[in-house]
Amino acid sequence: MYRVVALALPDVVAFDLAIPAQVFGHEDERERYSFRVCAGEPGLVPTTSGYSILAPDGLDALLSADTVVVPGYAPLNDPPAEVCDALRQAAVNGSRMVSVCTGAFALAAAGLLDGKRATTHWKNAERLRTLYPGVAVDADVLYIDHGSVSTSAGVAAGIDLCLHLVRKDYGTEAANSIARRMLVAPHREGGQAQFIERAIAAPLTRFADTCAWARQNLAAPLTVEDMAAHAGWASGSFTRKFTAEAGMTPLRWLNDQRIAEACRLLETTDLPVQAVAFRTGLGTTANFRLHFARKFNTTPSTYRRLYQGRNRQAAPA
C-alpha cells in the first residue's frame, strides 16, 4: 500500500485537493493507497471556494509519505519556512513529490524544482518563471514527470497526472478503472497542449456501436472504410463526423485502441511480443515495436518487465 499525503496550504484550491482525494482516497482504492490531508498545523484550512476543510494531521505526516501532493493555493506567497523544510525533508526521505496547478510554487519555494522542467497553470507560468529563474517552466504541457518530482498544469490536468501515477504504481487496468469511476478520459499524454480550441469528446454517442465493434475486432486488418461501412456512412462523411465528435481522426483512434490493448496484453499475459502484435492488428513485430516506441519511448519487452503481474487477475490471455 502506498501512503499519499496531501498538503493543504491556505487558501487551498478545493478542486485541486479533491483530485488526489478522489483518485487515491476513494474507498475503492483502500487496498492500494492510504490517503491523508495535512496542514502547517492541524485544524481548519480555508479554501478559495469560501469554505474550510479539516486537516487532521500536521507536517509530520509528510515525513512518512510515499507520495506528497501539494494542491494549488492562493495568493502565491512562499509557504512558511517550516513548510518548505518539511517538503525538503520528505524529498530527502524518498517521497515522490507532486504538485497540482499552482502547488508548483510551493515545490519551487522549497528548491525541489531547481534545474528541472516544471509546469503549472498557463496563467501563472510567467510568474513562476520570474520568481524562480532556476526552474525551466513549460506552460505548453499537461504534466511533467521526473520520477521523484512531478508537476501538473491547471485544474483537470491534475487528474491526468494522478491517473498517470496510478498507472506507474499499479498498471493500466487500475488507472482505467479509476477513470471509469470518475467518468474522465483514461489517459492523456503529458506533452499534450494545455489550451485547445475545442473540447475533446470520446466517441461514445453517434458511433458507440462502431467503436465497440472495432475494439472487438482489433486483430482484423480494419480500415477507416471498414468502420464507415459498419456505421452506414460514406467514408469521407464518417471521417468528418467522427473527428468532430472524438477530437481525433478514426485512424488515430483505431491505432490508440490497438496500443491500449497491447498494453493490457503485455501486463496481464505471457503472450510473445509477436502474438501481441498479431492480436492487436499491429502487424509485424517490427511494426509493433515502432508504434510502441513512438507512443511510450520504450520497447514492449521493457514495458512488460515494468508492469507485468500488477493486473494478472484483471484479464485473461
What digits encode the pLDDT tens for the residues 219-248? Answer: 999 999 999 999 999 999 999 999 888 878
> What are the helix (H) ranges across the chain?
14-24, 81-92, 104-109, 125-131, 157-170, 172-182, 208-216, 224-231, 235-246, 250-268, 273-279, 285-296, 300-307
| Predicted local confidence at residue 187, as pLDDT | 63
Max CA separation in the chain (angstroms): 65
Looking at per-residue pLDDT, the higher value among 63 and 294 belongs to: 63
For residue 261, the one-letter residue type is E
CB 97 within 8 A of CB 112: yes
In the residue annotation, 101 being an active-site residue is answered as yes
- In this prediction, residue 308 carries a pLDDT of 64
Q: What is the pLDDT of residue 172?
A: 85
- Confidence band of 196 (pLDDT split at 50, 70, 90): very low
Q: Which residue has the cell 472524438?
A: 246
How far apart are alpha carbons 43 and 254 in whole angstroms? 50
| More confident site: 221 or 196 | 221
Whether residue 313 has pLDDT greater than 80: no
Instruction: Please give the Cα distance from 102 to 125 (Å, whole number).
Output: 9
Catalytic residue (one of 84, 101, 162, 263): 101
Is 127 within 8 Å of 76 (Cβ atoms)? yes
Contact in structure between 225 and 242 (CB atoms under 8 Å): no
CA–CA separation, 44 vs 52, rounded Å?
6
Q: What is the predicted pLDDT for the residue at 65?
A: 98
Average pLDDT in the chain = 89
At residue 128, φ and ψ (nearest 5 deg) are -60, -40
